[in-house]
Structure 1
Amino acid sequence: MRKGTSAPKEAREAKPIRPLRADASRNRDKLVEVAGHAFAEKGGNASLEDIARQAGVGIGTLYRHFPTREHLVEIVYRREVEGLCAAADELARHNAPDAALAEWMQRFVDYIAAKRGMANSLRILFNANSEVFANTSGMVAHALRKLVDAAVSDGSIRSDINSADLLQALSGIYSAPDTPDWREQSRRLVSLLMDGLRWGARKAM
């Protein structure tokens, strides 16, 4: 380029994407963590102002990271899915196959609780063709299938179980009535499911 010649317009307008500063990244991660708990505990009544306050930041900071509730929900939902799937690998490393499956199924209740709390925003995201569903599709089913296959191979659960059927049974708690003891009741039902999986297993015979 000759001296005095201006750079092309595209080059002048292009701005590098700056990574978040360490404190901004911590604030963002804390907001997502707090929001996940708030949606699970309070559902659609979870206040963004309360989430910001519990995360130790102002509401302006929340909106700088997440301009709308749906922006926040999208990130929280992705975090919940990824966390549940990561838990499957972690539990499998440190527990017997049937124990890993049993604990993961209990964690599934918490995942459903958060998902129920984000239901309205998730519907908005779905109608807007958000990529979050395409990007996470099949992840939970794959995590469960690995746990089931390991427990079947180990002989600690019955061999005629289909992981897709089990996931459908587990997912049924999503539509259960929203009573004060919903989560405790769901945990009991999950325990009953696990008892059924163990009944007639090779190791139990």
Structure 2
Amino acid sequence: MTDVKPMRADARRNYERLLAEAKRAFTERGVDASLEDVARSAGVGIGTLYRHFPTREVLLETLLRDRFDTQAGKARELLAAEDPLDGLYTWLVGFGTASGAYRGLTELLADAINDPGSALHASCHAMQEAASQLVDRAKEAGALRADVTTRELLLLLHGASWAGTHLPGERGMERLLTLVFEGLRAS
């Protein structure tokens, strides 16, 4: 076991400013926002950014960790939902919202699940496992088509999340997911 040294106060401030500026930049300009601009806005050099976050994906994973941990907890709660299909739908809407936080993120997540070297892979795998439990429960209850796979469902969610950004209003992804879900119900 390695001892992790606590950050100096100035390093902690830089770390927090970098996260705040990255969140702002990714929200405004998407995941391809300039990391140089993030560092400059945080009042540090690019070397400081890379010392804290060696890659863009490490930075994104740090920003998304709390959201994804919340989604994993929500999946555990929804396993007890009275209607397993409603539980799955509720979880997918929450995950779709979390994974659509930044323009371009859904594409990165869809790629990261297949790339064990990605800093986002572990989080994506955890979300796939959470979804699998909900999918299995809905299938066992006879509420979800037996031929639907978790991977297909997550790819549909990513597609709905991306396409939903092109619909007017704030609930585009949810509207598209509702349309898709009607076709997934077991007959």
TM-score (norm 2): 0.61
Residue of 83, 98, 101 corresponding to 2:85: 98
Q: Distance in 2 between the 1:23 and 1:81 partners? A: 28
Q: Please tell me whether residue 140 in structure 1 is matched to residue 127 in structure 2.
A: yes
Higher relative contact order (CA 8 A, sep 6+): 1
Which residues in structure 2 correspond to 1:155-194 (within 5 Å)? 155=142, 157-164=143-150, 165-173=152-160, 175-176=162-163, 178-179=165-166, 181=168, 184-194=171-181
Q: 2:101 aligns to what SS in structure 1?
A: helix
Q: 1:138 aligns to what SS in structure 2?
A: helix
Q: Distance in 2 between the 1:193 and 1:120 partners? A: 19
Aligned to 1:107: 94
Q: What amino acid is aligned across from residue 144 of structure 2 in structure 1? A: R
Per-residue Cα deviation, 1:87-144 (whole angstroms, up to 9, x for no partner): 311333466422221111111321331353457998xx9xxx9541443453222211
Which residues in structure 2 correspond to 1:64-79 (within 5 Å)? 65-66=52-53, 71-79=58-66
Q: What amino acid is aligned across from residue 107 of structure 1 in structure 2? A: G
Q: Which runs of 5+ in 1 are unaligned?
A: 1-15, 201-205
Q: Distance in 1 between the 2:12 and 2:128 partners? A: 31
Q: Distance in 1 between the 2:185 and 2:107 partners? A: 37
Percent of aligned positions with the same letter in both sequences?
31
Question: How far did 1:146 drift?
Answer: 0.6
Residue of 74, 78, 96 corresponding to 1:87: 74
TM-score (norm 1): 0.57
How many residues are paired up? Answer: 179
Q: Are the aligned partners of 2:139 and 2:145 in contact in 1 as well (CA < 8 Å)?
A: yes
Q: Residues 38 and 154 from structure 1, CA distance in 2 versus in 1: closer, same or farther, beyond 3 angstroms?
A: farther
Determine which structure has more spread, i.e. the larger CA radius of gyration: 1
Q: 1:114 aligns to what SS in structure 2?
A: coil
CA RMSD of aligned residues (A): 4.7
Structure showing the higher helix proportion among its residues: 1
Q: Distance in 1 between the 2:141 and 2:11 partners? A: 46
